[in-house]
């Protein structure tokens, strides 16, 4: 059951990522996109909290929600800044390595055990995720030393989000309430950014806002399903499967925008399917 949930969480979260790509394709505002995402996502988690009765705002719940929210919002901000000063072909794979930190934590701290075939499957999934952003034609020279600090900090912040959800599941804290708090952090973060920055054109704001609202619905669904999957199965396998949502975005981009499938993307898909097969053997 947890394997199906992990796959579905990747697919659903990938749809959120694709909506963000659509907004970018139509020159939508990033600030309004992310504000819309966090608003509709927070409403989704609020509905789930009321539906399940998990509305207990204890200090541990609020604290973990703040940490996970800061990890998500600040991680995305530093990731975008790293892309401005360094090559995407190195930035994206290195920040994606936060998945390995979650796997290592789950094995060492929570004594999760996985078979050799599952381990090889996880390695293939991580390889697929890491190779996907690589552009063989991109200049990989690092000209700004700040790039190293930005990438390292962004990686650790993303680990606060992904690893934090594993820790809260082990502590039997309500995942929906924690994620609701984390999305409220995102609303405050990008709301302040909009008030602080120069006003953007109405059309740009509208594109970002409406696609963000749509993305937030799928973001809520993906993370909630991921949280449920973590409560039923090993994070050392579920986390890498969830992280393949970037491949979902790539496939939808190929189908909708007729983007050509490069040899690197073909290799990533081959690694993806091989990894999933080995995990289920």
* Nearest Cα to Cα of residue 102 among 59, 68, 133: 68
Tokens for 188?
């405050």
**CA quadruple 153, 158, 161, 162: dihedral sign:** negative
pLDDT of residue 179: 93
Given this model, what pLDDT does residue 45 score? 95
pLDDT-derived band at 41 (thresholds 50, 70, 90) equals very high
Angle at 103 between CA 250 and CA 79, to 5 degrees: 50
CA 186 to centroid of chain Cα atoms = 14
Q: Which residue has the higher pLDDT, 129 or 6?
A: 6
3-state secondary structure of 269: helix
What mean pLDDT do residues 234-243 have? 89
SS3 state of residue 278 = helix
Checking if the pLDDT of 85 tops 90, the result is no
List C-alpha distances in Å: 91 to 46, 71, 81, 83, 123.
Answer: 34, 17, 10, 7, 19
Closest by CA position to 214, among listed 85, 34, 58: 34
3-state secondary structure of 53: coil
* Top-confidence residue, 278 or 33: 33
Please check the confidence at residue 163 and state whether its pLDDT lies above 80. Answer: yes
How far apart are the C-alpha atoms of 125 and 123, rounded to whole Å? 5
Digit-coded pLDDT (tens) for 121-148: 998 888 888 887 777 666 666 778 888 9
- In this predicted structure, the answer to whether residue 156 has a pLDDT above a threshold of 90 is yes
Mean pLDDT taken over the chain: 87
* Residue 89, pLDDT above cutoff 90: no
Q: Is the pLDDT of residue 68 over 80?
A: yes
For range 3-9, the mean pLDDT? 93
| Single pTM value for the model | 0.86
Residues 6+ apart with CB under 8 A from 250: 132, 265, 268
Q: What are the tokens at 196?
A: 């602080």
Give the integer Cα–Cα distance in Å for 82 and 17.
19
pLDDT band at 77 (very low <50, low <70, confident <90, very high): confident
Top pLDDT among 159 and 93 is at 159
**Residue ranges of E strands in 117-240:** none
Distance between CA 93 and CA 70 in Å, rounded? 21
Between 199 and 131, residue with greater pLDDT: 199
Question: What's the pLDDT score for residue 32?
Answer: 95
CA distance 167 to 172: 9
Bigger pLDDT: 254 or 235?
Answer: 235
Determine the pLDDT at residue 188: 95
């Amino acid at each position: 059951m947890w394997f199906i949930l992990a796959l579905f969480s990747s697919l659903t979260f990938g749809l959120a990522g694709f909506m963000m790509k659509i907004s970018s394709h139509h020159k939508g505002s990033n600030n309004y996109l992310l504000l819309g995402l966090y608003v509709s996502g927070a409403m989704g988690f609020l509905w789930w909290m009321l539906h399940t009765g998990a509305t207990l705002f204890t200090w541990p719940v609020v604290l973990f929600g703040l940490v996970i929210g800061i990890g998500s919002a600040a991680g995305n901000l530093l990731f975008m800044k790293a892309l401005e000063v360094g090559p995407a072909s190195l930035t994206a794979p290195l920040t994606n390595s936060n998945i390995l930190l979650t796997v290592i934590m789950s094995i060492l701290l929570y004594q999760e055990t996985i078979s050799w075939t599952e381990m090889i499957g996880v390695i293939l999934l991580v390889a697929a995720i890491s190779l996907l952003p690589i552009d063989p034609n991109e200049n990989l020279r690092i000209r700004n030393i700040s790039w190293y600090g930005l990438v390292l900090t962004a990686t650790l912040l993303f680990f606060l989000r992904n690893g934090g959800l594993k820790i809260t599941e082990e502590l039997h804290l309500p995942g929906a309430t924690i994620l609701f708090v984390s999305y409220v952090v995102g609303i405050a973060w990008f709301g302040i950014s909009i008030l602080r920055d120069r006003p953007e054109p109405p059309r740009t704001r509208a594109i970002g806002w409406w696609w963000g609202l749509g993305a937030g619905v799928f973001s809520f669904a993906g993370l909630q399903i991921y949280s449920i999957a973590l409560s039923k199965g090993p994070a050392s396998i579920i986390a890498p499967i969830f992280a393949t949502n970037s491949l979902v975005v790539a496939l939808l981009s190929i189908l909708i925008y007729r983007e050509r499938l490069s040899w690197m993307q073909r290799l990533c898909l081959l690694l993806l399917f091989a990894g999933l097969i080995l995990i289920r053997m």
